[in-house]
Amino acid sequence: MNRDPHHDTSDWHRRAAALSIDGRAFIAGRRFAGSEAPRAITSPVNGEMLAELASCSADDVDTAVAAARRTWMPWARRGALARKAVLLALADLMERDFDELALLESLDSGKPIRQTRTVDVPGAISTVRWYAEAADKLHGELPAVPPGAVAMVTKEPLGVVAAIVPWNFPLEIAVWKLAPALAAGNAVVLKPAEQTSLSVLKLAELAAEAGLPDGVLNIVTGSGREVGAALARHMDVDALAFTGSTAVSRTLLAASGASNLKRLGLEAGGKSSNLVFADTGDLAAAAGKAAFGAFYNQGQVCSANSRILVQRPVYEEFATLLQQAAEAFAPEDPLADAAGNGALISSAHTDDVAAWITRGRQDGEVLFGGGRKTICGSDAYLEPTLLAGLAAEHDVHRDEIFGPVAVLHPFDTETEAVALANATDYGLAASVWTSDLRRAHRVAGELVAGTVSVNTVDALGNTTPFGGFKQSGFGRDLSLHAFDNYTAPKTTWIQFG
Ligand code: NAD
C-alpha cells in the first residue's frame, strides 16, 4: 500500500510532474493508439497538458466488441470463485498503486487530492471488493413445478456489456458498472468521458496484472458522438450501462430501439432538494451537511442537493449557518493537502456555471459567493455560491447547474415543501431534516426520489441501490440490485417423470 501521509503540496506537484501518463486505449489486453487523431488532454488544475488521449473510431469499437465477444463465455465458465479471486487481486493492486490513481484522478478532473485519496480511490476499491465477494453469492431458485419435473432458475450473464460513464466520478462510476458486470461473468467495453479517461486506463492495466483475461475488459477512449454512439448502435453489444445526462440518455434509448434492443441502464441527471424543517434538532449540523450536499466535488454531483428548502421560522438563521459551513468548500490548489474544493472540470464548463450565477443575480440575489478564481494559472475555480429570491418556477430551481451553485427557498407547510421538492422532471435524491419521526416517515414516503436521506444528505453505500425515478433514468447501480442490469434469469426445466 502506498499511502504516505507526509506529503506537502510541493511534493504532490513534484510527483505529478514525474508521472508517466499513457493515454492510449486498452483493447484485448493491449494499449492501442486509436485510429483517429489523438486529443490533447489538459488538466483543469493548472491548464497544463497531461496526455495525448487516443481517439478510437467506430472500427476500433468493433475490434473491442469482438474481443469482448470472444472472451466473455470462457470468463463466465471459469466460475464465480475464480472471478472473485481475480477481482480481489485487482483491489489489492489498486491499493498498491493508490497514490498514482488518486493523483491521476485529481489531475484529470480537478478534484482535491484529499478527496481522491479519501473518497474516490478508496470508494472504488471497496466497490471492487464488494462485488468480488458477491460473485459467489448470486444464488438461483428452485421454483415449485408439477411433480415429475424440477426447474432451476439461474442468473446468467448477458455477454458483452458496454458502459459509458461521465467525468464527475470517473473511477468510482466506472467501477460501479464494471465490477458487477465482470463479477457476473460478462465482458465489458467501457467508454470513459473524454475529459477523464486516465484513471480507468490505469485500472485496465491493473486488471490485466490481476489476471483478468485479455479482452474481458476493454477501454475505448474518444468522443461520445463517435465512440459512445458506436457502442449504442452496436448489434453485438447485449447491454449498455450509462451514467450521464438526460439528453444523451434519450439518444441511447433511440439507438437501442433502432439496433438490437440492447438492455439499457440509465443513470441520468438530477435536481435534488434538501428539506429543512424548523423542528430540526441541530441546525448547525444540518447546515454543515447542506453545504456538503450542494458544494462537494465542486457541486458536480448528479444527486447534489442544490435546492435547499427551509421552513420560514429558521430561514434566516439557516442562511447564516450555511454561509459559515460553505467556507470549508472554498476553492484552492487541488494538490494542497487541505484543499476544500478544487477546480471544475474545465474552463468552458466554469463559463456555463458562471452564467447561471449571472442569471441568478439578475432575477434574484446572490447571498454569498459568486466569485471566479484563478488558481495555479487556471480559471476553472468558483466560490461556493448561494442564490435566493427566485420564484420556484425559475430555471435555477428546475435545471441541473452541475457546479457549486445552490438556491435557497423558504416554505411554510409540509405539504408545500413536498410539492416544491417534487416539482422537477428529475427524481434522483432528496434529503429531509426533522426531529419528528412521524414527519420523517411521512415526507420520505411522499418524495419521488431514488434515495431519500433523513437527517443526512446524499446517503450512499455499496449495499444500497442508487438510481432514479422520472427523467433521472432507470436501472440501479450498487448493491445486489445492480446485478439485474448485467444478468438475466434462465429457466432450465428437467422432466423426469
Ligand atoms: P454526458 O451525458 O454529456 O456524457 C456522459 C458520457 O456520455 C460521456 O462519456 C460522453 O462522452 C458520452 N456521450 C456523449 N454524447 C454521447 C452520444 N451521443 N452517444 C453516446 N455517448 C455519448 O454527461 P457529462 O457532462 O459527462 O456528465 C454530467 C451529467 O452526468 C449530468 O447530467 C449528471 O447529472 C449526470 N450524472 C448522473 C449520475 C447518476 O448516477 N444519475 C452520476 C453522475 C453524473
Taking alpha carbons only, the member of 103, 167, 119 closest to residue 292 is: 119
The pLDDT score that the predictor gives to residue 484 is: 97
The pLDDT score that the predictor gives to residue 8 is: 55
Q: Residues 98-152: pLDDT tens digits?
A: 999 999 999 999 999 999 999 999 999 999 999 999 999 999 999 999 999 999 9
| CA 40 – CA 49 distance, rounded (Å) | 7
* Residue carrying C-alpha cell 486498452: 26
3-state secondary structure of 217: strand
Based on the number of CB atoms within 10 Å of its own CB, is 439 exposed (0-12), middle (13-18) or buried (19 or more)?
middle
316: CB partners within 8 A, 6+ apart = none
3-state secondary structure of 240: strand
Confirm whether pTM is higher than 0.75. Answer: yes
* Nearest-atom index, ligand 1, CA of 472: 41
Based on the number of CB atoms within 10 Å of its own CB, is 4 exposed (0-12), middle (13-18) or buried (19 or more)?
exposed
Question: Alpha-carbon dihedral of residues 451, 298, 24, 176, nearest 10 degrees?
Answer: -10
376 noted as active-site residue: no
Q: Which residues line ligand 1 (CB under 6 A)?
A: 164-168, 173, 191, 193-194, 224-225, 228-229, 232, 243-245, 248, 251, 267-270, 302, 400, 402, 428, 468, 472
366: CB partners within 8 A, 6+ apart = 357, 360, 385, 386, 387
Q: Residues 364-384: pLDDT tens digits?
A: 999 999 999 999 999 999 999
3-state secondary structure of 486: helix
The pLDDT score that the predictor gives to residue 29 is: 98
Q: Provide the 10 A C-beta neighbour count for residue 435.
A: 12
Q: Are 425 and 326 within 8 A, CB to CB?
A: no
Q: Are 477 and 127 within 8 A, CB to CB?
A: no
Q: Are 369 and 326 within 8 A, CB to CB?
A: yes
156 noted as active-site residue: no
Q: Residues 105, 226, 302, 376: which is the catalytic one?
A: 302
The pLDDT score that the predictor gives to residue 396 is: 97
* Nearest-atom index, ligand 1, CA of 428: 41
The pLDDT score that the predictor gives to residue 3 is: 53
Q: Are 189 and 161 within 8 A, CB to CB?
A: yes
Q: For the chain, which ranges sit under pLDDT 50?
A: 1-2, 5-7
The pLDDT score that the predictor gives to residue 449 is: 98
| CA 169 – CA 299 distance, rounded (Å) | 12
Q: What are the backbone angles phi and psi of residue 419, rounded to the nearest 5°?
A: -65, -40
Ligand 1 centroid vs 396 CA: distance in angstroms? 20
Domains assigned to the chain:
19-268 (3.40.605.10), 273-461 (3.40.309.10)
| CA 428 – CA 452 distance, rounded (Å) | 9
The pLDDT score that the predictor gives to residue 42 is: 97
